[in-house]
C-alpha cells in the first residue's frame, strides 16, 4: 500500500504498522487497495473457517452496503471502511446487540481520540450534531460467526457526502483525522466493549440519543409509528410506547428532554 497517491491530504494506511500495533491485542489486520465489499470478503473467510480476530480494511470500496441493502460508497482513502470477524460467546438473544455494541465501540473511540461528541442512534448509526458520521452493518455468514462492518467518514468533504444528513470528522472539527490512529482506537474499543457485554449494554443506553426521544419508526411495508422511545430491551429491540421493534428506520422528532 505504498507508492504514489493523488491526494496528499488523504495518505494511505500503513499495513505493517497497523499489523504490529494490533497483533498484541489479538487482531490480524489486512489492508486492501480496493474491494467490492469488506463484509463480503470477511464473510467468505468466515465460511471457510477463519478464526476470530480478522480485520479487513479497504482503501476503496466499490460495492459497499448499508442496512436494507443501501449502497455505501465514499472516495478512496476518505474514510475508514473495515469489517471484523468475531465469534462471540453469546446466547441467541444477545446476537442482535452486536451492531449496537459495535456502534458504541466506535462512538467511544471517537470521543477519546477525535474529541467529538459522538452519540448513537438506534440501531446502527453514530451521530455528531445530529448528523450521521458512521454506519454499522452486522451479518452472520455462518453459525457462530459475526461480521461487523464499519463505515466511518473521516475527511469526506460536504460535496462528497451522500446526503445532507451526513457529516465527517473533518467537517465537525475533529482533533485528528489520522486514519491509522482512528483504526487502532476503534478496534481496541471493540475488544473492550465485547469483553464485558452487560456493562457495555448499560453504556449503550446512556450514550443512545434515541432513548427518551420522540421518534418515528419507519417500518417495512411503508407503515410508520410515532411515539417515545423508552428503552432498548434485552434482545436489542427499540421499545416505543411499550411496543418493541426489531427492525425499522428511526427519525428523531425531538431530542430527549426537548
We report the CATH number of the domain holding residue 95 as 3.30.930.10
Angular region, 72: left φ>0, alpha ψ -120 to 50, beta rest: beta
**Cell numbers given for 151:** 463505515
Angle at 128 between CA 124 and CA 131, to 5 degrees: 75
Are 117 and 193 part of one and the same domain? yes
pLDDT score for 72: 54
Q: What is the pTM of this model?
A: 0.93
Within a domain: 5: no
Report the alpha-carbon distance of residue 233 to residue 231 in Å, rounded: 6
**Parent domain of 247:** 214-254
Within a domain: 219: yes
**Cell numbers given for 176:** 485528528
Are 73 and 178 part of one and the same domain? yes
**Cell numbers given for 101:** 455494541
Within a domain: 7: no
Are 222 and 106 part of one and the same domain? no
- Residues facing residue 215 across a β-bridge: 227, 252
What's the number of domains the chain is made of? 2
Are 124 and 139 part of one and the same domain? yes
Render each residue's pLDDT in the chain as its tens digit; 258 residues: 444 456 778 999 999 999 999 999 999 999 999 999 999 999 999 999 999 999 999 999 987 555 445 555 678 999 999 999 999 999 998 999 999 999 999 999 999 999 999 999 999 999 999 999 999 999 999 999 999 999 999 999 999 998 999 999 999 999 999 999 999 999 999 999 999 999 999 999 999 999 999 999 999 999 999 999 999 999 999 999 999 999 999 999 976 554
Are 68 and 183 part of one and the same domain? yes
Are 74 and 142 part of one and the same domain? yes
| Residue-wise burial string across 178-188, b where 16 or more C-beta atoms lie within 10 A, e elsewhere | bbbebbbbbbb
pLDDT score for 1: 46
Within a domain: 4: no
Are 175 and 136 part of one and the same domain? yes
Are 79 and 198 part of one and the same domain? yes
Amino acid at each position: 500500500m505504498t507508492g504514489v497517491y493523488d491526494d496528499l491530504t488523504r495518505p494511505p494506511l500503513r499495513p505493517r504498522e497497523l499489523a504490529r500495533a494490533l497483533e498484541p491485542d489479538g487482531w490480524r489486520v489486512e489492508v486492501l487497495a480496493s474491494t467490492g465489499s469488506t463484509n463480503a470478503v470477511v464473510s467468505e473467510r468466515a465460511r471457510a473457517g477463519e478464526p476470530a480476530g480478522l480485520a479487513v480494511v479497504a482503501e476503496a470500496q466499490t460495492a459497499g452496503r448499508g442496512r436494507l441493502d443501501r449502497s455505501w460508497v465514499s472516495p478512496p482513502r476518505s474514510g475508514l471502511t473495515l469489517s471484523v470477524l468475531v465469534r462471540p460467546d453469546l446466547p441467541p438473544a444477545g446476537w442482535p446487540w452486536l451492531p449496537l455494541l459495535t456502534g458504541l465501540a466506535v462512538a467511544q473511540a471517537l470521543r477519546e481520540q477525535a474529541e467529538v461528541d459522538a452519540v448513537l442512534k438506534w440501531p446502527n448509526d453514530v451521530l455528531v450534531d445530529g448528523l450521521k458520521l458512521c454506519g454499522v452493518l452486522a451479518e452472520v455468514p455462518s453459525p457462530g460467526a459475526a461480521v461487523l462492518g464499519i463505515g466511518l467518514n473521516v475527511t469526506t468533504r460536504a460535496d462528497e457526502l451522500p446526503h445532507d444528513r451526513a457529516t465527517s470528522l473533518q467537517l465537525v472539527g475533529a482533533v485528528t483525522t489520522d486514519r491509522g490512529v482512528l483504526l487502532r482506537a476503534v478496534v481496541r474499543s471493540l475488544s473492550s466493549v465485547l469483553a464485558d457485554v452487560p456493562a457495555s449494554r448499560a453504556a449503550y443506553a446512556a450514550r443512545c440519543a434515541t432513548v427518551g426521544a420522540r421518534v418515528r419508526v419507519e417500518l417495512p411495508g411503508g407503515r410508520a409509528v410515532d411515539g417515545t422511545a423508552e428503552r432498548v430491551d434485552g434482545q436489542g429491540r427499540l421499545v416505543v410506547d411499550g411496543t418493541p421493534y426489531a427492525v425499522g428506520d428511526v427519525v428523531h422528532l425531538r431530542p430527549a428532554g426537548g
